[in-house]
Chains A and B, each alone.
Chain A
Amino acid sequence: MKLYDQIFDVVKQFKKLFSPGPVTNADVSGSITAEIFLIVSLVISTLLLRHVNVLLAGLVAFILAIVLISNIPLIPKFKIEQEDSLEKMLFYAIVTLAILVTFLYWGGNLV
């Protein structure tokens, strides 16, 4: 019942996503689909790490699955981070540039 309550809480939190305005069944089911899609696709993506090391892939997938599931609902958090705020867009653009340059310049054998 604890998991059921947790999922029910998630559904209630989706209401905030669509405010102001009415929340329809289609909107909530769409958000639940997005939630499940996000978790499953990220976990499957981490399996690609098996080309580096099988143990690493299993470990990362397992830890990521636990972290993601224990942090549901993820979509409201993702949506807040990806709104039309210029500050957030600039922040993520600069972070990406910094990671790219750092990784390629100092990546050593990984590159």
Chain B
Amino acid sequence: MNELIPLMVIVPLMAALLISAFSKFNKITKIFAFVVAICLPIIPLASNYGLHYFGGYAPIMDNVTNVMFHPAITYSFTFLQQIFIAMVGLLTFLVIFIYLNKYKEVSGPYLFLLFLGTAAVTAMLLTDDIFHMFVFFEILALAQVGIVAASSIDYSYEMALKYMILGSIGSPIMLLGIGFLLALTGSVNVTDIAAAVHNGLVNVTSPVFLMSLALIFFGWLYASGLPPFHTIKSGIYSKAEPHGAALLQSFTVISMISIVLIMFRIYSSLPIFEVLIVFFSILAMVLGVSLALTQTDFRRMIGFLAVGELGFIGLGIGLGTQFAITAGLFQALNEIMITALLFIGFGAIVNATNEVDTRKLGGLLAYHPKVGIMLLIGGMAMAGVPPLSGFQSKLMLVQASLSCGFPELSILAIMVSIATFVVFIKTFYAMFLRPKPNDLEVEGKEVPRSMIFAMGVLLIIIILLGLFPDAVTSGISNFVGGIL
């Protein structure tokens, strides 16, 4: 059923618009949002792999040059898109489920932003058109700003505004880079651009082509939250509602991989491209984890850890081999789930204690054992403890860097994993294991069941992927083989 391919974007987009328009009907809005949210992970699983040409404009073969042109905006749906869109769909469902359970009166504009963000990342993953990708990248940036600004946390407006101001640098710079590519190749279709580059129709050493790489790469740094944007990225996570932060980090990961895969197809012939990715990934890992070690606000701590984990994804893609890219993409999938679990779990603690400072918490294991144990397993998965999914992807990354002849990167990856483990154990001890401070009030404050349910679902997937990684890695590896 290839007709379902465009529906993956259209359904959340239409839902966003309808919910925003009819948000004064609270009960109908809640039911409608719930039904659409259930559909989101089902549509990609029910759809067949294939291509969708908007407007029905099929590719045209130029009989003189034997080159294929793609006049339509094209959506490409393979196993990689299927697994990531299904995962984001599932996460959107869990987040909306938590939100609908938490508030009696729901906010139409907030639900609009959640669905809009999901539609945007889905389109970014599917599209084979670099300008189309940019349009949804902009929509996503606005949705992210809105999700942060809509939270009830202090200074969330300020952080959202800062993110928007930085975006006003990152986005136009990326657009300028896309403009340079268009000027060089006469196309915005990624397949056409890549064909022009690899067939020698574009001089890859020309300053304009190199400049387009620099500009698009800078936009990618903004989208991914890699340095120098790691501070603002961790900041917006900490100022969003916990369930919102869980979704925001998945948006970041998806936009990171969708843009880098497009860049990889165009610029992989330039060795400097991979060097740049590895350089910024190392920076993200080192800065993210070392700053996480010094945080006392546990939401900020998870924010910095999430940024550090992005470095692992970049590392895999920067190494450039089939095995390494597969490892990087598998790590991306794991990070979406693990970080979401941690944001929701720590959000449950905020809900129960109204406290985010680890120095003022303690003894919570006696009050919230289920949350504590699930958070412990989630933290271990993030640190790469076997047999959880994070271990499998990090082991693959270590093996990939060793086989590429970079043992330094393997050592660094192991060190970052150890430091992540230290961060998590330190925080877990401070919040759950040490004696409860006398002035901390936790009695009578229950963690919402919807949060426990969401954590349980994510935890099951983390454990299953840890035990059976081949269920996704073989499909991802086939996809990577196709783009190399």
Establish whether residues A48 and B406, one from each chain, have CB atoms under 8 Å apart when the complex forms. yes
B232 sits at the interface (CB 8 A): yes
B166 sits at the interface (CB 8 A): yes
Known: A40-B415, A105-B207, A105-B214. A89 touches B429 (CB 8 A): no
Known: A30-B423, A37-B289, A79-B291. A44 touches B412 (CB 8 A): yes
Residue from B162, B270, B287, B430 in contact with A89 in the complex, judged by beta carbons closer than 8 Å: B162
Residue from A78, A96, A101 in contact with B290 in the complex, judged by beta carbons closer than 8 Å: A78
Q: Compute how far the CA of A24 lies from the CA of B205 in the bound complex, rounded to whole angstroms.
A: 55
Q: List, in ascending order, chain B residues with CB within 8 A of A93's CB.
A: 166, 169-170, 222, 228-229
Establish whether residues A37 and B290, one from each chain, have CB atoms under 8 Å apart when the complex forms. yes
Q: With both chains docked as a complex, state the minimum distance between the C-beta of B380 and any C-beta of chain A, in angstroms.
A: 18
Residue from B173, B270, B357, B415 in contact with A37 in the complex, judged by beta carbons closer than 8 Å: B415
Q: List, in ascending order, chain B residues with CB within 8 A of A72's CB.
A: none
Residue from B207, B359, B415 in contact with A21 in the complex, judged by beta carbons closer than 8 Å: B359
Q: List, in ascending order, chain A residues with CB within 8 A of B285's CB.
A: 41
Q: Compute how far the CA of A78 lies from the CA of B287 in the bound complex, rounded to whole angstroms.
A: 9
A15-52 vs B, Cβ < 8 Å mask (1 yes, 0 no)? 00110011010110111011001101110110110000
Q: Compute how far the CA of A38 lies from the CA of B423 in the bound complex, rounded to whole angstroms.
A: 14
Q: Compute how far the CA of A83 lies from the CA of B296 in the bound complex, rounded to whole angstroms.
A: 14
B218 sits at the interface (CB 8 A): yes
Establish whether residues B217 and A100, one from each chain, have CB atoms under 8 Å apart when the complex forms. yes
Most-contacted residue by chain A among B210, B228, B416 (CB, 10 A):
B228
Establish whether residues B231 and A21, one from each chain, have CB atoms under 8 Å apart when the complex forms. no
Establish whether residues B293 and A37, one from each chain, have CB atoms under 8 Å apart when the complex forms. yes
A64 sits at the interface (CB 8 A): no
A-B contact pairs, 22 of them (CB 8 A): A24-B430, A26-B430, A30-B293, A34-B289, A37-B290, A37-B415, A45-B282, A45-B408, A48-B408, A48-B409, A75-B294, A78-B287, A79-B291, A82-B231, A82-B287, A84-B162, A84-B232, A88-B231, A89-B232, A90-B165, A96-B227, A104-B210
Establish whether residues A18 and B228, one from each chain, have CB atoms under 8 Å apart when the complex forms. no
Q: Compute how far the CA of A31 lies from the CA of B289 in the bound complex, rounded to whole angstroms.
A: 11
- Considering the complex of A and B, which 3 residue pairs feature the smallest CB-CB distances, nearest first? A92-B228, A34-B293, A104-B214
Query: Which A residue sits closest to B405, measured CB to CB?
Result: A51
Q: How many residues of chain B have a CB within 8 Å of chain A?
A: 53
User: In the complex, which residues 290-316 of chain B have their Cβ closer than 8 Å to any Cβ of chain A?
Assistant: 290-291, 293-294, 296
B100 sits at the interface (CB 8 A): no
A1 sits at the interface (CB 8 A): no
Query: Which B residue sits closest to A88, measured CB to CB?
Result: B231
Establish whether residues A41 and B228, one from each chain, have CB atoms under 8 Å apart when the complex forms. no
Q: List, in ascending order, chain B residues with CB within 8 A of A82's CB.
A: 230-231, 287, 291
Q: Compute how far the CA of A94 lies from the CA of B276 in the bound complex, rounded to whole angstroms.
A: 17
Q: Compute how far the CA of A89 lies from the CA of B232 in the bound complex, rounded to whole angstroms.
A: 8
A3 sits at the interface (CB 8 A): no
Establish whether residues A41 and B416, one from each chain, have CB atoms under 8 Å apart when the complex forms. yes
Q: Compute how far the CA of A37 lies from the CA of B235 in the bound complex, rounded to whole angstroms.
A: 23
Q: List, in ascending order, chain B residues with CB within 8 A of A86's CB.
A: 162, 165
Interface residues, chain B, with chain A CB atoms under 8 Å away: 159, 162, 165-166, 169-170, 173, 205, 207, 210-211, 213-215, 217-218, 221-222, 227-232, 235, 270, 272, 276, 282, 285-287, 289-291, 293-294, 296, 357, 359, 406, 408-409, 411-412, 415-416, 419, 422-423, 426, 429-430
Establish whether residues B293 and A33, one from each chain, have CB atoms under 8 Å apart when the complex forms. yes
Establish whether residues B290 and A75, one from each chain, have CB atoms under 8 Å apart when the complex forms. yes
Q: Compute how far the CA of A66 lies from the CA of B166 in the bound complex, rounded to whole angstroms.
A: 35
Q: With both chains docked as a complex, state the minimum distance between the C-beta of B167 and any C-beta of chain A, in angstroms.
A: 10
A95 sits at the interface (CB 8 A): yes
Q: List, in ascending order, chain A residues with CB within 8 A of B214's CB.
A: 97, 100-101, 103-105
Query: Which A residue sits closest to B285, measured CB to CB?
Result: A41
Query: Which A residue sits closest to B215, measured CB to CB?
Result: A101
Query: Which A residue sits closest to B280, measured CB to CB?
Result: A96
Q: With both chains docked as a complex, state the minimum distance between the C-beta of B159 and any C-beta of chain A, in angstroms.
A: 7
Establish whether residues B286 and A41, one from each chain, have CB atoms under 8 Å apart when the complex forms. yes
A63 sits at the interface (CB 8 A): no
Residue from A21, A30, A42, A90 in contact with B294 in the complex, judged by beta carbons closer than 8 Å: A30
Q: Compute how far the CA of A48 lies from the CA of B412 in the bound complex, rounded to whole angstroms.
A: 11
Most-contacted residue by chain A among B230, B276, B290, B416 (CB, 10 A):
B290
A55 sits at the interface (CB 8 A): no
